[in-house]
């Protein structure tokens, strides 16, 4: 069996453990702690980022709904304006007043089938 430490017998005789082992354990614990800390910080940052994204998307949805209500109101007004412009009473009034047209007499009407 190969000896791990040159003074292995002396260390065993005095009852002391080799220093390389204790440093190794402390080093591994430090690495573990640093990894845990990094994972915790990363998880926290991801959580905060996801909450900010949810809030921003909520604002975007709210703005889109507000715009949809505005556009629906504009659409309703435009449909009413179209109906007003297409009305036969308005067209007849324009034809008589602005264009000088008159209603045809019954003998002037020709029905085509």
Query: Cα 13 from chain centroid?
Result: 69
d(CA 84, CA 2): 104
Q: Tens digit of pLDDT for each residue in 47-101?
A: 999 999 999 999 999 999 999 999 999 999 999 999 999 999 999 999 999 999 9
Q: Which helix (H) or strand (E) holds 65?
A: helix 19-86
Task: Provide the whole-model pTM.
Answer: 0.54
Task: Give helix 19-86 / helix 88-97 axis angle, nearest 10°.
Answer: 50
Q: Which one is predicted more confidently, 23 or 103?
A: 103
Question: Within 13 Å and on the Cβ side, how many CA atoms surround 75?
Answer: 6
- Extract the tokens encoding 49: 């980022």
């Amino acid at each position: 069996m190969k000896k791990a430490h040159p003074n292995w017998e002396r260390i065993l005789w005095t009852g002391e453990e080799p220093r390389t082992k204790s440093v190794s354990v402390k080093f591994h614990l430090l690495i573990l702690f640093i990894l845990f800390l990094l994972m915790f910080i990363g998880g926290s940052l991801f959580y905060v980022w996801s909450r900010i994204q949810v809030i921003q998307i909520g604002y975007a949805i709210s703005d889109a709904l507000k715009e949809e209500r505005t556009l629906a109101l504009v659409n309703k007004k435009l449909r009413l304006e179209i109906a007003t412009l297409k009305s036969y009473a308005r067209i007849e009034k324009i034809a008589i007043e602005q264009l000088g047209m008159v209603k045809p007499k019954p003998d002037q009407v020709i029905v085509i089938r």
